Structure 1
Amino acid sequence: MSETGPHPTAATGAAERPRVLLLFGGRSSEHSVSCVTAAGVLNAVDDSRWDVVPVGVAPSGLWSAEPMDIASWDLRSSPAPEVPEPERPVNLRATAEGRTELVDVDGCSLGHIDVVFPLLHGPFGEDGTMQGHFETLDLPAVGCGVLASAVGMDKHFMKVAFQAAGLEVGPWELITDRQWRRDPDHALRRAARLEFPVFVKPARAGSSFGISRVQDPADLRAAIEHARRFDPRVVVEAGILGREIECAVLDGHGTDEPRASLPGEIVVVEQAGGHQFYDFEAKYQQQGAAELSCPAELEEPAQQQLRELAVRAFEAVDGAGLGRCDFFYTPDGRWIVNEINTMPGFTPISMYPALWERSGIGYAQLVDELITLAIERGPGLH
């Protein structure tokens, strides 16, 4: 599927297939990742089951249903993929009949929408704001709801939720915007008490944007200022000696328990670019910079324990639909949860679909399953 634009309305004969609004792009720094994800989903979705309506969110926040050459989008291309600003923006509107429809700038209907698949990452997409918008329209959506999305987006409150659920987390310090502007030296002293190396991260960003590995306390200030370019709230995490193991979680149907994939381990190949950690370039741009080992080389009891902990982490934030849980496995056999991603990277080469591929659920089947789960769950409180 190379170009996309407004799809036919139900009146043209597509009424038997649920109409899926595929929303991508967005206002965050992960805009280009979302665009490439949309290309992967569009190429994999079963058109015999779903009537997919692709809509891009431009960097300004305006929604566009205008034709886009999605097939040409690639994270290694220059310039990076981007949804162009629309000449005639579109949006969603609730109808008197209790349905939701897509409308153009003049208020003309472009057809009803049954469910939305928000492939949006970061602020204004993955943080609960968009999920709240869908709730006000009684529109089912793939993935987590408002609370889980907001908690899962904030690395500080996420850790608080994990601790309350009895999961072990590593030492960290939160530096708020007010704290930094009022007394940066005090914030630096708090962060410097952590065991080095530390990782300085924007509290509410993903795809490794704005993250720095700091070995010397003298470099903390610059790392914090760099992270603040992406988010005024910053977390500083102590370095943890251990292997980084990830586990994908897929919700269950009805009262069934959520499902956990086989564990996976990303091995960063240093000679491929000198990456000190799994950064944006290693994730998406440089072929051969990282390799996935799945199932990770772990004894069976450790694998089973990780899968149980991943489900517990998912439920600790009231997760729904999908999530990817990242852990450290220490030399003494402890699992320390690092974070949960409630809308993980979903390009065909991303970790979440790769873990499920190795666990027996292919990319196209995963897309189908997620849409089905969203419709089954429906909108509203659960």
Structure 2
Amino acid sequence: MSKIKIAVLFGGQSSEHEISCLSVVTIAGNIDPEKYQVFLIGITKEGRWLKVDSLDEVRSGAWRENRTRAVLSPDTAMKGILFLDGDDAKLQKVDVVFPVLHGLYGEDGTVQGLLELSCIPYVGCGVLSSAVSMDKFYTKVIIGGLGIRQAKFVPVLRRELNDDEAVMDRVEQSLPYPVFVKPSNAGSSKGVSKAVDRKSLKEALKRAAAEDSKILVEEAIVGRELECAVFGGRETKASGVGEILAAAEFYDYDAKYNSNESRTVVDPNLPEGVAEEIRRDAVKIFEAVDGLGLSRVDFFLEDGTNEVVFNEINTLPGFTSISMYPMLWEARGRALPELVEELIQTAFLRRA
């Protein structure tokens, strides 16, 4: 039998470009070479799509200097990648695509829309679920109807910061300090900061506005940071619960990827019933946003009350060596090659 041809997209134009380059090494490195022929497609920060010949090129970063361009066409008759090298053009048919892209222009429904137009099966959540889950404001709107507690928030538009005094007045009338300020569309905690007074609030709003035109100012939930992995195929399943022990005051980008002191625990000691509540809520949230394939759902366990508070959902969570999603499933007996294979198979459910 001929091998299944799979295109794996990575990199991208978002602030999580480097994390995607780490995730793809894990994912592509665990695709069965006996079953699949893998085509690596790297997307530079400038938006150039390039043919990548090996994972060694990804590890070294040399792929960004490659000359062969890659074009994914929405033409349903093509159903493949067009490789362009000077005057030479070659169409490579593909059976399935695995978009290992985090953040904007990858995890937000844009690439998913292109793949829908091309009629090529792809791994992960679809256009709607990707878009609403990437946008923290619209996630809150949807989750608000589930009866699951989430942090109170004040929405802010970037253009409103022309009169930042009025914005800060509105925030202070609704929420006590400290507050967390987040871009509505961003991942890996890029642009997120904590404000303890009016001066730091002004700085935090400016920092978040550099990442997105919509900003959320949230009440600070003091408590343990917990995460649950969800796998959605013919039925939705939740992993166990993991805990983040951040080196910093909160789990920001540096604490996630640049600190050796941050730790993850895949079987934390939790009060009775909390793990099951989180697992149930994670499945409800995944299904409410019409998820398929994979997501990681994040929660807080509030100090003092032991109440579970929803934080956010990530429809293409990190797959690095320190990422919670694969670690949680491995703790449940799903080795990485098995997990990657099962995720690829979910791509064909969408068309079925």
Tell me by how many angstroms 1:94 deviates. 5.7
Q: What number of residue pairs does the alignment pair up?
A: 348
Tell me by how many angstroms 1:354 deviates. 1.2
1:104 aligned partner: 83
Gapped regions of structure 1 (runs ≥ 5): 1-14, 75-80, 270-274
1:201 touches 1:211 (CA, 8 Å); kept in 2? Answer: yes
Question: How far does the alpha carbon of each residue in 1:69-99 deviate from its partner, in whole angstroms, 9 at most, with x for none?
Answer: 646738xxxxxx5851653321123667x45
The equivalences for 1:35-46 within 5 A come to 35-46=21-32
SS at match of 1:312: helix
SS at match of 2:273: helix
The equivalences for 1:1-382 within 5 A come to 16-67=2-53, 70=56, 73=59, 81=61, 84=64, 86-93=66-73, 98=77, 100-105=79-84, 108-181=89-162, 183-192=163-172, 193-253=174-234, 256=235, 258-269=236-247, 275-287=248-260, 289-330=261-302, 331-378=304-351
2:21 touches 2:58 (CA, 8 Å); kept in 1? Answer: no
Gapped regions of structure 2 (runs ≥ 5): none
Change (3 A) 1:89 1:360: same
Greater mean deviation of Cα atoms: 44-53 or 20-29: 44-53
Q: Which runs of 4+ in 1 moved over 6 A?
A: none
TM-score by length of 1: 0.86
1:18 is aligned with what amino acid? I
1:128 touches 1:146 (CA, 8 Å); kept in 2? Answer: yes
CA separation in 2, counterparts of 1:31 and 1:284? 13
- Higher-strand-fraction structure: 2
Question: How far does the alpha carbon of each residue in 1:27-77 deviate from its partner, in whole angstroms, 9 at most, with x for none?
Answer: 111111101111112222211122111110011212100446646738xxx
CA separation in 2, counterparts of 1:37 and 1:342? 14
Tell me by how many angstroms 1:292 deviates. 1.5
Q: Over aligned residues, Cα RMSD in angstroms? A: 2.0
CA separation in 2, counterparts of 1:378 and 1:141? 10
2:51 is aligned with what amino acid? A
Identical-residue share of aligned pairs (%): 39
Tell me by how many angstroms 1:16 deviates. 2.0
2:31 is aligned with what amino acid? V
Question: How far does the alpha carbon of each residue in 1:234-271 deviate from its partner, in whole angstroms, 9 at most, with x for none?
Answer: 11111012221110101132xx2x110100111124xx
CA separation in 2, counterparts of 1:86 and 1:197? 47
Change (3 A) 1:195 1:296: farther
2:151 touches 2:219 (CA, 8 Å); kept in 1? Answer: yes
